[in-house]
Amino acid sequence: MSPLDALWHLLNFLAPAWVVAALVAMLVKLLWRQAIKSQTWRRLALWGGIGGSVGLIAALALFGRDGKMAGYGLMIVAVALPQWWLAFRPGR
């Protein structure tokens, strides 16, 4: 495998987390406009993407392979938690 192939594999592995994070950030900004006006879309998408990437890597380590539904479920939770924390953290 060439370095370019390895890069494409890595990017395709992480793409679902970043796309879901961007969509969730957009929906959060749309649905809770007043409650979340202090947070930017980019910040929500960035932290959601990082969380989703960690979730995918954890699922890969836990299950030994990519593409399991439980792994994608873990990714969804890992995308939602940082965005929830930024938007609705307790004591805010």
Q: What's the pLDDT at 15? A: 96
Q: What's the pLDDT at 1? A: 87
Distances in whole angstroms, Cα of residue 75 to Cα of each of 48, 49, 54, 55 = 10, 9, 8, 5
Cβ count near 13 (within 10 Å): 15
Q: What's the pLDDT at 7? A: 95
C-alpha angle 80-29-86 in degrees, rounded to nearest 5: 45
Q: What's the pLDDT at 89? A: 76
pLDDT tens string 32-91:
888 788 888 999 999 999 999 999 999 999 999 888 899 999 999 999 999 889 887 765
pTM for the predicted model, two decimal places: 0.87
Q: What's the pLDDT at 92? A: 58
Domain boundaries defined on the chain: 23-88
